[in-house]
Structure 1
Amino acid sequence: MSTAINQESHNTGTSSGQNPSSDPYNEQDLSSSISHSSLSPSPSTEDSIAQFDGQLQYEDRQGDITSKEEDNRSLQSDPIQDTNTSPKENNTSATHSHNNKSDNSGAFNPNDEDNALQRTGTRYFSPKLKKARKDVIYSFIFTNVVLAIFAFTIFSLFWGVNYKNFDRAHKVQILAVIQDEGITSPNISTIIPIAAAVPTIAESSMGTYHIYNSTGFMDKFKLQSNDEIDAKVIHEVYGEKYWFAINIKPNATQALYDAIAVPNAPSFNTSQYFEAVTITARDPTNYRQLILPLLQDFEARYSNYYTSTYFPQFLNNLTTFNNITTVNMTNIALAGTMNFYTNDIRSFTERVLIAPLLVGVAYCLLLTFFQFLIYSQLHQEVSALLKPNHILIYRNIMLWLTMFFASLFFCTVSAIFQIDFTPAFGRGGFVVYWMTTWLFMVACGGTNENMVSILFTLFGPRFLGIWILSFIILNITPTFYPMVMANVFYRYGYMMPVHNAIDIYRVIFLDLSKHKMGRNYGLLIAWIAMNAVALPLVFKFLLMVITRREKKEKELAAAAEEAKLKN
């Protein structure tokens, strides 16, 4: 290499006309310099190489030591590791694993830490799982105690509303109006009025009867004439003062007498003079099962009295004491049976109404719970960015707006299935239904937000299902069944949101009396106001709980650190 460079330098110098002796760089010196720099390291380079080799050897030794220490710690901390293995064997195995990993990093090695020290399952009664078994037993006992308390309280509440209903039948208020005053003709004697036994029969029948004659009824309700009695009886039942009414029309006894004693007189039809005024729409699911049996009990008792006692006695008195020798045998046969005419002033015939009036309301309540769960993550993120007052404003606005649209969606389902909204409010019925549902959902949604926030902070998510099921049962139990025949305890239902919402729905869809709507709306608004007032108090309480919890955790951590330092 030196020769080639010297030759090239000589040729270059000759061709350029320069004297080789005048080159400032001597060819021999240049060749020696290049050869020395290319083949022989300088003293500084040799020192650097030696230092680098020493560093590599030091790091390799440190890596071996570190690997051994990590392997030993891993073996000691693994609960599945065989306790009979000696530390020396563990260290040897770990060192061997490290060397193999360094030599064959891409190949599977059974001695590799990732392969040899993986956790494996063990038997349930292993001594190493003693603490885990205690946790399982504690959780099992605690869970079953909670379920027992829930079943014996909330479920018992639902079962109890139907327990021995007819033992409380005396709480059912019934109206009986006797307009018939018998036969007033002086030529006819010993003819007992057809309704004379009504008070006695009513006293032995189920229910509490309020019995009036024409004069007493007119005085009671300030009526001007007898013609107003029938309408007033219907009005009293429609106004929910009474569950049903027995209305015995005037001249019933006279019509029976004429049908038997007067030739060519029209036959006596008992259903024209004995009327039962009912209102099954007042409680669509329970009226027929709980209220109508009381009416049927009275009808059965009176019918038995009429056919077995009154009518035979009437015929005997007619022929024996009034010298009636000719009777209309055809009319006798027709008059020998007793039938009441049932005037159902508000009937329940549309089965599709069960959805918005009963089961659908429970689903609507459940919907208010789901919306909060959906928003929970968003609420946490936004609340971390806002001031306390703005958090309250944000939460209330989100609740009201969400319920506004959710109530619209819920009500639209009823419109899709062509439910009639016009019976009570005409074309505005849908708007009334929507706004009522909105208030109802805000009332329930606010309650759920407050309670779920408390339960989630104190106990986590495990009791949320128990809360929502309890809230549903507390609402529907005194609503789906008539409180009049339930224990007095169930009167708490008058203040519950579901009860008040369903009262309004029955007015909208069934055209019931509107006299309770003011109270119903007032209670729904009261629930909304109560939840709005409770929300900042709930936040304050939860902040106090979280602060105490964090303080306790810090104290425990400090105590643990102090104990560690002492050891």
Structure 2
Amino acid sequence: MHILGARRPSFATAPERRPSSHSAPSIAPSTRSRRSSHQFVLRDNESIIHPPEPYDPDDKDTQDDPDLKLFAYPFWAPELADVRKAYLIPVAMVTTFMCIVVWLFFGLYWASLFNVSDRAANLSGWIINRDNSTIGNALQDALLAASGNRTVSWSSRDPALYPSPADVMHAVDPNYDTWIVVDIAAGATDALRRAQLSADPAWDPASVVAMYYSDARSYQTYPGMIISPTNAILAAASTRVVRQLAQQTFANNASALAATLRDAPHTLIGALDVRAVNMHPWNNPVAIAPTFVGMIYLLILAFQVTMASFMSRQAIKNHLTFRAYLAMRFCTPAVAYIFISLMVSLINIAFELPYGASFSYGAGFMIWWCLSYTGMLVCGLALESVITIIGPKFIGIFLIFFIISNVSVANYPPEVMNRFFHYAYAMPFYQMRQVYTTILFDTGKHIYILKYFGILWAWMALILLTMPFIVWIDYNRVRHSRLHGDGTAPSH
């Protein structure tokens, strides 16, 4: 891939050249005849089409300076000053340009991860206090007091709206109404007081507080930004409220306190323990591959098809009508992506990814394949359009930008990133990741899949509306040059 300082490839039938007087007559003519029998020659890189020919010291294509000896100089030899300069200047230009690219594009990804924990308050958490007594009020007050201080924003909800655990779980996932719910059992205070007084050895510390969440919704977000802070707040508040309750219960009953310490110490120490209900755990590490890095690979594979198509169509493009040329530009990658996306989908089976977690196994596979194909088609046709505008020299730079702008919003939910990154809701990788997660871990509503596909189809519609005009401008320019000019206009 050329970036700077490279000539555009010229695609024309190679003229038959006369053999040099210094060449062996029995070899040079046959070499030239074989060369002229090929369809076309890439002057910049003939090895793309042909194997390299034997070196000819009198061939101007292989030696620019006939006064230089072959294989005879160290790198810094004075005799190589001109050719060394021709080598180093483009390398220096590319290096400088890449340094600029680092600051232009790489910072986008770094910024997407910068201070995300400071924006945890943009995530919501609910408290359902069914106790409305000492324990329930103490835990509720502790969460509300910490709300927004590098933790989720907590709010209380009426228990009547969520009468059963199933209703609570439904609010967390698939409805996505909130990120986490702390549910305090009804009668918790009275139950613990009775257990302390009776020294009940059957007391279950995990029977009072339940914490509902769905880790697979965003496995990067939950552990550090939601679960750990919530556990720390509840642990500190539980210790205080149990001590307070014990002081009230045994204020004038020292003998009962001694009996409880002997027979049921867990009602006084560690009497409250949070029961974590992870409805959809991220329990398959292999899923990281297709839901993050795998999407980058899909884009790179689409890029390879784009470049192969660009190099291969030069011999035929000038002989096609515009309609045939446009159809070729669209149909070639569209067909190629069917098989590539199928292979990418099949490799997941080898590593036992659970296509059947949310749908039947076959349906999950087909949805995955369709999504991968749609994503490749969107990204690949976008590259097809852009290479027509900026040419092959700079398409690699656009690829870097396209990858970074997508992966920057594929890790954390947009709620915890700077508002600039809310463009995530329109990006292909974000839509693909949401559907992949739904298929593998049964997160979210199935109807949301149509929304995510719809956004990808909107990208497709935009590309299909603009690509014909982009291709026509380039096609018409080259056609006019070939018919009325010198026939040397570069084409993309």
Kindly indicate whether residue 238 of structure 2 is the aligned counterpart of residue 303 of structure 1. no
Distance 2:427 2:487 in 1: 44
1:317 and 2:252 aligned: no
Q: Which structure shows the bigger proportion of residues in helix conformation?
A: 1
Q: Post-superposition shift, 1:397?
A: 2.0
**C-alpha spacing 1:543/1:360, structure 2 compared with 1 (3 Å):** same
Unaligned runs of 5+ in 2: 1-20, 22-64
Q: Does the CA-based 8 Å contact 1:270-1:335 persist in structure 2?
A: no
Counterpart of 1:272 in structure 2 is 207
After the TM superposition, which residues 69-80 of structure 1 pair with which residues of structure 2 at under 5 Å, given as runs? none
Candidates 143, 146, 156, aligned match of 1:212: 156
Q: Deviations over 1:15-41 (max 9, x none)?
A: xxxxxxxxxxxxxxxxxxxxxxxxxxx
SS at match of 2:396: helix
Give, in angstroms, the shift of residue 510 of structure 1.
0.9
Aligned to 1:331: 264
Tell me the amino acid that sits aligned with residue 449 of structure 2: M
1:523 maps onto 2:446 in alignment: no
Q: Which AA in structure 2 matches 1:521?
A: F
In 1, distance between residues paired with 2:368 and 2:75? Answer: 58
CA pair 548-290 structure 1, distance change in 2 beyond 3 A: farther
CA distance in 1, matches of 2:401, 2:171: 36
Q: CA deviation at 1:389?
A: 1.7
SS in 1 for 2:163: helix
SS of structure 1 residue aligned to 2:409: helix
Counterpart Cα distance in 2 of 1:288 and 1:245: 13
Shift of 1:408: 1.4
Aligned residue in 1 for 2:315: 381
Q: 1:178/1:548 Cα in 2 relative to 1: closer, same or farther (>3 Å)? A: farther
Cα pair 1:479 1:499 within 8 Å, conserved: yes
Matched with 1:254 is 190
CA contact (8 A) 2:143 2:154 kept: no
Distance 1:551 1:126 in 2: 48
Match of residue 425 from structure 2 = 494
Distance 2:250 2:223 in 1: 44
The whole-number CA distance in structure 2 between the counterparts of 1:392 and 1:163 is 43
Q: Write the distance in 2 (CA, Å) between the matches of 1:531 and 1:290.
A: 40
SS at match of 1:227: coil
User: Are 1:392 and 2:329 counterparts?
Assistant: no
TM-score by length of 2: 0.75
SS of residue matched to 2:359 = helix
Q: Is 1:202–1:298's contact at 8 Å kept on the other side of the alignment? A: no
Per the alignment, do residues 306 and 420 of structure 1 end up closer, same or farther by CA in structure 2, a change over 3 Å counting?
closer
CA contact (8 A) 1:280 1:344 kept: yes
Matches within 5 A, 1:44-193: 118-120=66-68, 139=90, 142-182=93-133, 192-193=134-135
Tell me by how many angstroms 1:300 deviates. 1.7
CA distance in 2, matches of 1:345, 1:197: 23
Q: More relative contact order in 1 or in 2 (CA 8 Å, sep 6+)?
A: 2
Q: CA RMSD in A?
A: 3.2
Structure 1 unmatched ranges of 5 or more: 1-69, 71-116, 183-191, 557-567
Aligned equivalent of 2:395, options 454, 461, 464: 464
1:316 Cα deviation from its structure 2 partner: 2.1
Preserved CA contact (<8 Å) 1:368 1:445: yes
Measure, in 2, the Cα distance between the counterparts of 1:386 and 1:551.
14
How many pairs are equivalent?
413
CA distance in 2, matches of 1:299, 1:428: 38
Q: Letter of the aligned partner of 1:449 in structure 2? A: E
**Paired residues of 2:216 and 2:281 also in contact (CA < 8 A):** yes
Q: Summarize the Cα distance change of 1:353–1:318 in structure 2 as closer, same or farther, 3 Å threshold.
A: same
Equivalent positions of 1:408-447 (< 5 A) are 408-426=342-360, 427-447=362-382
Of the three residues 367, 375, 379, the one matched with 2:301 is 367
Contact 1:424 1:511 (8 Å CA) reproduced: yes
Judge which range, 404-413 or 502-511, deviates more.
Answer: 404-413
Instruction: Determine the structure 2 residue equivalent to 1:455.
Output: 390
Rate the CA distance shift 1:208–1:125 in 2: closer, same or farther, 3 A.
closer
Partner in structure 1 of residue 217 of structure 2: 282
Aligned counterparts of 1:505 and 1:126: Cα–Cα separation in 2: 58
Distance 1:335 1:170 in 2: 33
Is the CA contact 2:409–2:430 (under 8 Å) kept in the aligned structure 1? yes
* Letter of the 1:439 counterpart: T
User: Residue 241 of structure 1 aligns to which amino acid in structure 2?
Assistant: D
Letter matched to residue 354 of structure 2 = D
DSSP-derived class of the 1:275 partner = strand
Which of 196, 204, 228 in structure 1 is aligned with 2:138? 196
1:538 aligns with 2:473: no
The reply on whether 1:347 has 2:298 as its aligned counterpart is no
AA in 1 matched with 2:179:
W
Report the CA distance shift for 1:545/1:266 in structure 2 as closer, same or farther (over 3 A): farther
User: 3-state SS of the aligned residue for 2:353?
Assistant: coil
Over 3 Å counting, the alpha-carbon distance change for 1:425 and 1:382 in structure 2 is: farther
**8 Å CA contact retained: 1:279, 1:344:** yes
Distance apart, 1:137 and its partner CA: 7.1
The answer as to whether partners of 2:212 and 2:277 remain within 8 angstroms in 1 is: yes
Does the aligned pair in 1 maintain the 2:378–2:459 contact within 8 Å?
Answer: yes
Distance 1:549 1:488, change over 3 A: farther
Percent identity of paired positions between Structure 1 and Structure 2: 21
Equivalent-residue separation in structure 1 for 2:321 and 2:358 (angstroms): 47
Question: CA, structure 1 residues 493+412, in 2 after alignment: closer, same or farther (shift >3 Å)?
Answer: same
Which SS does the other structure have where 1:423 is aligned?
coil
Report the 3-state secondary structure (helix = DSSP H, G, I; strand = E; otherwise coil) of the residue aligned with 1:246.
strand
Q: 1:126 to 1:433 in 2, by over 3 A?
A: closer
**Structure ID, larger Rg:** 1
- Indicate conservation of the 8 Å contact 1:479/1:498, yes or no: yes
CA contact (8 A) 1:267 1:335 kept: no
Q: Secondary structure at the match of 2:256?
A: coil
Q: Which range moves more in the overlay, 242-251 or 376-385?
A: 376-385
Query: Taking structure 1 as reference, are residues 145 and 553 closer, same or farther at Cα in structure 2, changes over 3 Å only?
Result: farther
What CA deviation, in whole Å up to 9, does each residue of 1:119-156 have, x standing for no partner?
A: 21699999998887876676455424421221002111
